[in-house]
Structure 1
Amino acid sequence: MHERQKHRSSKHSPRHRVYNNNNNNYDDTKLHKVSSLQGQSQKSQSSKHPALPPYYYAIIFVTAVGCFINSYDGDFVFDDMEAILHNKDVHSGTPLSVVFSNDFWGSKIATNTSHKSYRPLTVLSFRLNHYISGGLHPRGFHIANILLYGLLCCLLLPTVHSLIQAWPEHFTLQRYQATFLAVLMFAVHPVHTECVAGIVGRADLLCAICFCLGFLAYKQSIEQEGDPSSKSKLSWLLLCGGITAIGVLCKEQAITVIGVCSAFDILVVNGVSMETVLTFNSSHFFNQKHIQSLLRRQFYLLLVGVAILSTRMWVMGSEPPIFQIVDNPHSFVNNTILRVLNYNYIYALNCWILVFPAWLCFDWSMGCIPVIYSIFDLRISIAFTFIIGLSCLLYKAAQSGPNSRVISMSLTVLIVPFLPASNLFFRVGFVIAERALFLPSIGYCMLCIIGLDVVTQNIKQKKLITGAVILLLAALAIKSIQRSSEWRKEVDLFNSGAFVCPLNAKVHYNIGKIAADRGNTDLAIEKYRLAISLSPKYDQPMNNLANILKEQGHLREAENLLIEAVTIRPEFAAAWMNLGIVQAALKKNASSEVSYLNALKHRRRYPDCYYNLGNLYLEVGKHQQAMDAWRNATIQQPTHVKSWNNMMILMDNLGKTEQVEGIGKQALNIVPDAPTIHFNLANTLGKAARFSDSEKHFLRAIDLDSGNAQYWSNIGVLYHRWNKLDKAENAYLKALKLDSSLTNTQDNLNMLLRKKLKT
């Protein structure tokens, strides 16, 4: 008792008081001045709320890493392909300045087609991985994600410990125990698998780390506020703003730490209850001794938020991203009441995923969650259940009870970080995204521990409760391990998605794409047709199915599918190009040219399309237009070997040896190890009787591709004409050994043998 009294007597200065709104006594759990003069008060406080034991950090780190360690040797999967594998910004050769002018996927952020996801620091972290690993090797990327997750969970210990600073004394669990259990539950939660096992989840990990650091910096600034001799309170406040800005450059959701800091300052530090906030009771709204410093901090948070949002809008070109109805059909419902019900139904499903994470899917779009179009839809009851449940929690938080503030902060951390994904302020490009639950799950875990304490107070069988908690944590950990293994390979990930969301057309499209890449065209056709049947306006499977049908000779059906695809999405450049290829095969040359030009209209940098357009012009005898098209292809993509070859072959056919040699030398300056260019140049030089120069390029082509029978056959012809009959014979024999079906080579060999007999 003596220590407790001593502790209270050290807080007589009004500058250090923090009122408990429940009984108007000083609350020992609030932030206060920490100085050398308060050693005794610190001691008494630590006896009341012991500091977090150091071994907690080790346990949390090992547990967090252990749940997802089996994803360390996974492949690049799903969005990793676009954001990393095909993103030139990740390659070390790309100028750094380009990273800050492009979006997360490597496209110019100011364009209309950009998703407006501006995360340059995350891209730079990928680039660092690329530099350290010496290339795009997924293992290094995965290991970095796993370690970052372990670091994040360790940072959550002091973060959650501060967020539940108003932990009531009458609770069974101690504050440090509640902190440990909440963070442990977070560490093992399966909903985090996408952010850890999926490499693009790096954005969420870095964002969450900045979220924690920003909050801790803000908390430190408040602690310094209580010390008149401290000169660093402004520095900590500025650091909070700086970290928040850095977090937003990792992922946009980091800005929500401003709302959490604001709520923490009002509800916890200044002891204002939700009831006071909602009723605007001005006589108790603020502790008058702290009103000025509180308002300064709140104004600073407002300035930081406005500055970040304004800068963000400027970077985006003041235009929001444009999403199609297939991305988020619930947000396109015209009826306001039905749209609100759809949103609440989706919120309820998000909560269910947190509570019961057995059904997890990499993508929840494209029919995975059917839209509610009628007020008689039974799923409306789920939406109303969610509304009632949330209302009860808010009512409990608004009461003046001893646990209202800790519930209020838990709800704040649950709701505020979710707001950017809620469709309330702007339309988002997804229905449900498990990554959007990453930060909100912190608040959910805090609420679960509060609920656990309430249960513990009402049930005397403590061992039963302990066993249930251990069983729950073990079940979550096992699910995380199992789920992270599914993220190792795309085929496993997509098949698991088909099991959870059999109506999701995108899932079946992705399975079909993998099947096509592996040569299983029958499965690919089946999955593409299923995707189209589930979503008749889904243009991508139409394009891919048409490509397979084109290769199988079903040109008419392929043409119809591609016409449908470009009708649905007129800016679909790839479909326009493929339509041009099919129409060229059908000898619809005029239509083919129009299709190619439409493709180039919607994608100006399209070397493959210029290549195919050149082939069309060659077919109809427009040689100069063909040369111009191929030249454009090589300008846009200097390594476009096929275009270089076609230019050389056309000039050779026209008897323009000098032009062939000039084109060949220009190409070899860019792609010196392209065997086909050496081969075509050697053929032209051989025709011009420049045998030595021709031999040099033939030998280089063979050195680069020794298994090509045609190369051996043609160098045999060169030696034959050069009268080096033994070398010619050896070359012919080598060619026939590689490919016995070369009848011309066999004829040349017979001719050579007859010639040798005569001599």
Structure 2
Amino acid sequence: MQHNERWKHGITWLFLHLLCWAMYIFPVFVTSRHNLHRDPVLDELHILSPDNQDVNGDSTWTEIFSNDYWGRPMHSSSSHKSWRPLTVLSFRYGKGPAWIPDLEAHRFINILIHAATAEAVSVLAARFVRPPSFRIMVKLLFALHPTHVEVTANAANRGHLLAVLCSVAASDPQLPWLLFVLVVLVGYLSSETFLFQVVPSAVTLIAITHIRMRQRETASERNLREQFIQLLPQVLRRGGFLISSGLIYYGARYYFDTLSIPDGLIRPAENPFFILKGWDRVRSYAYVVALHVGKAWDFDWVGFSHEYGHECIRPIVEWDDTRLWIPLVVMVIYVGVGLVALFRPFSTFFWWYVVHVAWMTTLFPISGIVKVGTFVSDRIVVAASVSTCLCYGWLAWMWMQRSGSSKSSAYLSRTERRFLIGVVFLVMYRRVYNRSLEWMDSLSLLESSLKTCPRFAKAHLEISKIYSGLYPEQWNLTKSLLHISEAHKHDPTFCDVHYQYAHVTLQQHHYLKFEQHLVNALQCPFTMTGAMQLWQKYWPAVLEDSSSQDSGGSVAAARSRYESYIQIINNAIAEHENDESNRENQTKKRSSPFANWAGDEEL
């Protein structure tokens, strides 16, 4: 009889695990086959680029461990300080056979990691509440959380998934010690975001240990004390290892000066709130934190977008802005529930609250306190969703267990409750399915972003590139020019638009406009390299062609324009060097990883 029960239990969990695979395999590999070009999307272009020596080249392991995620040296002024060597190695060696494209192999590995993370979260749930039905509920809720699409369907976000998998696994007090140490090391090598998940893991370890002691109903008070004394070294050893390793990691990054992202790499087009100061910054980032808390609870009032750039979410510059009610309500709810928990110290409810708040602290990077390039992002929410899925699973499981009279219309039968929960899961899967399809194609992803953020300049720019020849079958210069004009209108400081303007006007044979935009593109640090290559191809050909003509006027006109452009560029270079010199003289101290808050402009 026990053998049959074990067999049935094993089949059930195998089915659930395969189901977690199928949730993403179906939209990613089956229904997306209708796409015309199944090309890499966004940062996947970098992963698959032949120029990426760390993944597709001959870089040594020493170079990989010395570079950031984008292949730049960590000490470089152009480095984003994202140190993820193990994730890079997973791309380098995690490729399928010759008949499977590398892109599909990378995406499939992400799906496997996400399913493994869902399983790890369900194991964590079983440490809190033993019944299998609760564990099943939590696993499905985590697998179907809509904010996970970005890190699962897009291979380039693998580091975030690996970090969450490791932090959840490290939260299990029953994990063997050596495996625990290995998991923590893998977490640090996978993504810098693991640092913010160390404290939640330590808190969860302590909570589970205490709850499991209280669940031993047959033990006397003396035995409980003895068990506590026996388990205390294990808790201190694991919790101490987590905290001390986090301090060592942070100290090493600080010592080698690889914590702080250069200000020039944090762009208003991607993180528009970074330049805010004083109370404007406090108000605006309070709203951003509340927005991420809402995403973790699956309340997204802004909508899906792969980025939320310029003019997508406007800063809060006045106290009478109605959006401030949202962070206020969130704070009141958390403080109120916290007070209730304090009146029940060390109860199961108390530990549930403490664990939940601990995982919510993983949202710290987007609080505006530290310098990060990320603004609003689904991938940052994945770790926080661990605790919200546990809470939702517990509420759903308690509702399922609720007893009531089947004759009364006030109560639903267990079958009816299961049916309603099944409907909820189907609705959740439909969102995951649709969102996954959008991530399979650059155009559909960017168009979905414009539905949420119609004034998002960077999205308009990327769509303009698609219509200007990135995908030949989509070539439409009229649409391309329309989108680049929208980008320039919504964000006049977005200097990248000039390089795209140059490409479009060159194809339209509007050469004077092309030259003017090319000069502006040369003055933009983000398009300087490409613009210089285009400049070196264009002007020798123009000057040579002009000199071969009979009319001397055309030669003089071309050379006059060329010299005036050179003068503009030289003046811009001199001005930039002067600004850099003044900045260095004003800031002799080491760059801080912390962003400035109130009163920065007066310091």
The verdict on a shared fold, with TM-score over 0.5 as the criterion, is yes
Q: Is the 8 A contact 2:519 2:569 kept in 1?
A: no
**How far apart are the structure 2 equivalents of 1:593 and 1:333?**
35
Q: Is the 8 A contact 2:169 2:175 kept in 1?
A: no
**How far apart are the structure 2 equivalents of 1:288 and 1:244?**
25
**How far apart are the structure 2 equivalents of 1:242 and 1:332?**
40
**How far apart are the structure 2 equivalents of 1:293 and 1:68?**
38
Q: Is the 8 A contact 1:396 1:404 kept in 2?
A: no
Query: How far is 1:565 from its partner?
Result: 4.8
**Tell me, what secondary structure is at the counterpart of 2:468?**
helix
Query: How far is 1:287 from its partner?
Result: 5.8
Q: Is the 8 A contact 1:215 1:261 kept in 2?
A: yes
**How far apart are the structure 2 equivalents of 1:384 and 1:566?**
46
Q: Is the 8 A contact 2:81 2:259 kept in 1?
A: no
Deviation per CA, 1:735-758, whole angstroms, max 9, x where unpaired?
xxxxxxxxxxxxxxxxxxxxxxxx
Query: How far is 1:368 from its partner?
Result: 1.5
Asked if residue 106 in structure 1 is aligned to residue 71 in structure 2, the reply is yes
Structure-1 residue corresponding to 2:150? 194
Structure-1 residue corresponding to 2:92? 127
Question: Counterpart of 2:195 in structure 1: which amino acid?
Answer: I
**How far apart are the structure 1 equivalents of 2:330 and 2:483?**
36
Query: How far is 1:574 from its partner?
Result: 3.3
**How far apart are the structure 2 equivalents of 1:446 and 1:271?**
15
Structure-2 residue corresponding to 1:28? none
Structure-1 residue corresponding to 2:250? 309
Query: How far is 1:514 from its partner?
Result: 0.9
Asked if residue 415 in structure 1 is aligned to residue 360 in structure 2, the reply is yes
**Tell me, what secondary structure is at the counterpart of 1:330?**
coil
Query: How far is 1:430 from its partner?
Result: 2.2
Deviation per CA, 1:589-615, whole angstroms, max 9, x where unpaired?
4455678889999xxxxxxxxxxxxxx
In the superposition, the TM-score normalised over structure 2's length comes to: 0.76
Query: How far is 1:364 from its partner?
Result: 1.4
Q: Is the 8 A contact 2:308 2:456 kept in 1?
A: yes
CA RMSD in angstroms comes to 3.5
Query: How far is 1:433 from its partner?
Result: 0.9
Task: Give unmatched runs, 5+ long, in structure 2.
Answer: 214-224, 404-409, 543-557, 575-603
Asked if residue 373 in structure 1 is aligned to residue 324 in structure 2, the reply is no
Query: How far is 1:583 from its partner?
Result: 6.6
**How far apart are the structure 2 equivalents of 1:313 and 1:460?**
58
**How far apart are the structure 1 equivalents of 2:248 and 2:376?**
29
**Tell me, what secondary structure is at the counterpart of 1:522?**
helix
Question: Counterpart of 1:178 in structure 2: which amino acid?
Answer: F
Report which stretch shifted further, 293-302 or 526-535.
Answer: 293-302
Task: Give unmatched runs, 5+ long, in structure 1.
Answer: 1-42, 44-49, 168-173, 222-235, 274-283, 602-759
Structure-2 residue corresponding to 1:244? 184
Report which stretch shifted further, 451-460 or 521-530.
Answer: 451-460
Structure-1 residue corresponding to 2:288? 346
**How far apart are the structure 1 equivalents of 2:420 and 2:122?**
23
Change (3 A) 1:136 1:112: farther
In the superposition, the TM-score normalised over structure 1's length comes to: 0.61
Query: How far is 1:146 from its partner?
Result: 1.8
Query: How far is 1:95 from its partner?
Result: 3.2
For these two proteins, the number of residue pairs brought into alignment is 516
Query: How far is 1:268 from its partner?
Result: 3.7
Q: Is the 8 A contact 2:439 2:445 kept in 1?
A: yes
Question: Counterpart of 1:415 in structure 2: which amino acid?
Answer: M
Query: How far is 1:68 from its partner?
Result: 0.9
Question: Counterpart of 2:253 in structure 1: which amino acid?
Answer: R
**Tell me, what secondary structure is at the counterpart of 2:422?**
helix
**How far apart are the structure 1 equivalents of 2:511 and 2:156?**
38
Question: Counterpart of 2:427 in structure 1: which amino acid?
Answer: A
Structure 2 counterpart of 1:78, from 38, 42, 45: 42
Deviation per CA, 1:358-407, whole angstroms, max 9, x where unpaired?
93211112222111111122211222122222323333443317442442
Deviation per CA, 1:713-736, whole angstroms, max 9, x where unpaired?
xxxxxxxxxxxxxxxxxxxxxxxx
Aligned ranges 1:537-548 → 2 under 5 Å: 537-548=493-504
Question: Counterpart of 2:142 in structure 1: which amino acid?
Answer: F
Query: How far is 1:153 from its partner?
Result: 2.1
Q: Is the 8 A contact 1:63 1:188 kept in 2?
A: no
Change (3 A) 1:318 1:496: closer
Deviation per CA, 1:92-147, whole angstroms, max 9, x where unpaired?
43333322222111222211111111111111111113474489632222222222
Structure-2 residue corresponding to 1:461? 412
Aligned ranges 1:423-438 → 2 under 5 Å: 423-424=368-369, 426-438=370-382
Question: Counterpart of 1:492 in structure 2: which amino acid?
Answer: S
Structure-1 residue corresponding to 2:169? 213
Aligned ranges 1:54-93 → 2 under 5 Å: 54-69=10-25, 70-72=27-29, 74-85=38-49, 86-93=51-58
**How far apart are the structure 1 equivalents of 2:237 and 2:520?**
59
Query: How far is 1:311 from its partner?
Result: 3.0
Structure-2 residue corresponding to 1:614? none
Question: Counterpart of 2:383 in structure 1: which amino acid?
Answer: L
Structure-1 residue corresponding to 2:425? 473
Structure-2 residue corresponding to 1:38? none
Structure-2 residue corresponding to 1:558? 514
Q: Is the 8 A contact 2:283 2:324 kept in 1?
A: yes
Question: Counterpart of 1:259 in structure 2: which amino acid?
Answer: V
Query: How far is 1:484 from its partner?
Result: 1.0
Query: How far is 1:295 from its partner?
Result: 4.3
**Tell me, what secondary structure is at the counterpart of 1:249?**
helix
Change (3 A) 1:527 1:64: same
Query: How far is 1:91 from its partner?
Result: 0.8
Aligned ranges 1:15-414 → 2 under 5 Å: 53-69=9-25, 70-72=27-29, 74-85=38-49, 86-130=51-95, 132-133=97-98, 137-162=102-127, 164=128, 167=129, 175-216=131-172, 218-220=173-175, 236=177, 239-270=179-210, 294-314=235-255, 317=258, 319-322=260-263, 323-336=266-279, 338-354=280-296, 355-356=298-299, 359-400=303-344, 402-412=347-357, 414=359
Deviation per CA, 1:399-439, whole angstroms, max 9, x where unpaired?
31744244225414531332234333x12212211111112
**How far apart are the structure 1 equivalents of 2:323 and 2:572?**
43
Instruction: Name which one, 1 or 2, has greater alpha-carbon Rg.
Output: 1
Deviation per CA, 1:217-259, whole angstroms, max 9, x where unpaired?
x5446xxxxxxxxxxxxxx1x5433321221211112234421
Query: How far is 1:497 from its partner?
Result: 1.4
**Tell me, what secondary structure is at the counterpart of 1:372?**
coil
* Greater relative contact order (CA < 8 Å, ≥ 6 in sequence): 2
Query: How far is 1:190 from its partner?
Result: 2.1
Question: Counterpart of 1:332 in structure 2: which amino acid?
Answer: I
**How far apart are the structure 2 equivalents of 1:60 and 1:357?**
27
Percent sequence identity is 20
**How far apart are the structure 2 equivalents of 1:259 and 1:51?**
38
**Tell me, what secondary structure is at the counterpart of 2:390?**
helix
**How far apart are the structure 1 equivalents of 2:134 and 2:20?**
17
Report which stretch shifted further, 568-577 or 482-491.
Answer: 568-577
Query: How far is 1:291 from its partner?
Result: 5.6
**How far apart are the structure 1 equivalents of 2:326 and 2:117?**
34
